[in-house]
Amino acid sequence: MNNISIGSWITLNHFSIIEIMADAGFDWLCVDLEHSVVDYYEAEVLIATIQAKGIKPFVRVGHNDELIIKRVLDAGAQGIIVPMINSKEDAIKAVNAVKYPPQGTRGVGLARAQNYGFSFENYAKTVNSQTTVIAQIEHIDAINNLDEILTVEGIDGTIIGPYDLSGSMGKPGKYDDQDVKEVLLKYEKISKKFDKPFGYHVIKPDHQLLLEKIKTGYSFLAFSLDTLFLGTIIRQEMEKFREALK
């Protein structure tokens, strides 16, 4: 996690989307269960497809809930992004849900991740160290508690949610507001102090924006999402086509 890690977001529940995006060279792909209609079975198919392409499957769960986390881990997820981690207690709860005892409290099941029971012993030996836990920082309370959040053993890194963060300040989407800028700078400063990877979801499919974040020190970067990659090239080319007809 100390190196730059680039992934993208999956919201469309079709394995072909995974196959196309995986071949673009991402390090990981994240199935979004918070803001999509992807269900558990579809998530398992998408996770399996990501793994078949040789990259790491993340899942952004919809809530810091041990049942949700347990189910996607049993489906084969190797990284979990947990939204609205606002306190040390929230971070501990997320880690406990991901890790088997004695590091956590995750319940044991025999599903796809454990090769349906036939590889459980090997899985149990490695899963705690090989599963990445990312805390999503997207509320002003999280910024105020960030020092404590980053002290929690098992939190491998964070990713900022700038829109919800600005919303929690009563300034949704106002990234040029001075107060919002200062809070983002505080996030970066504290993260660097703890030497843990910190991340950003660059929504616009423009690689220059990725480079800007890397220069600032961000190393866990989500680059756009399936719908925007698809929609952007369609709109650009159709606009060029209509202009050519004039």
pTM of the model: 0.95
One-character DSSP codes across 138-164: -SHHHHHTHHHHTTSTT--EEEE-HHH
Buried/exposed code over 151-185 (b: 16+ C-beta within 10 A; e: otherwise): ebebbbbbbbbbebbbbbbeeeeeeeeeebeebbe
The number of distinct structural domains making up the chain is 1
CATH of the domain at 78: 3.20.20.60
Q: Residue 40's pLDDT is what?
A: 97
Query: What's the token pair of residue 99?
Result: 């890790």
Q: Write down the pLDDT at residue 1.
A: 46
List, for residues 37-96, the tens digit of each pLDDT value: 999 999 999 999 999 999 999 999 999 999 999 999 999 999 999 999 999 999 999 999
- Percent of the residues in the chain that have a pLDDT greater than 90, as a whole number: 95
Q: What pLDDT, on the 0 to 100 scale, is given for residue 162?
A: 87
Residue 224 in tokens: 């756009």
What are the Cα distances from residue 135, in Å, to 46, 80, 92, 144, 179? 22, 8, 10, 14, 23
Of the candidates 104, 86, 98, the one whose C-alpha atom is nearest the C-alpha of residue 149 is 86
Q: Which domain holds residue 200?
A: 5-245
Residue with tokens 């920082």: 137
Query: Catalytic annotation on 139?
Result: no
pLDDT digits (tens, 9 = 90+) for 83-122: 999 999 999 999 999 999 999 999 999 999 999 999 999 9
Render pLDDT for 196-207 as a digit per residue (tens, 0 to 9): 999 999 999 999
DSSP state of 219: -
- Residue 88: φ, ψ to 5°: -60, -40
Q: 196 phi and psi, to 5 degrees?
A: -115, 145
Mean pLDDT of 3-9: 96
Task: Retrieve residue 148's tokens.
Answer: 């404590």
* 3-state SS assignment for residue 27: coil
Q: Identify the active-site residue in 14, 35, 201, 207.
A: 35
Contact yes or no for 219/158 (Cβ under 8 A): no
DSSP reduced 3-state for 5: strand
Question: Does residue 102 have a cis bond before it (omega within 30 degrees)?
Answer: yes
Name residue, tokens 């963060």: 165
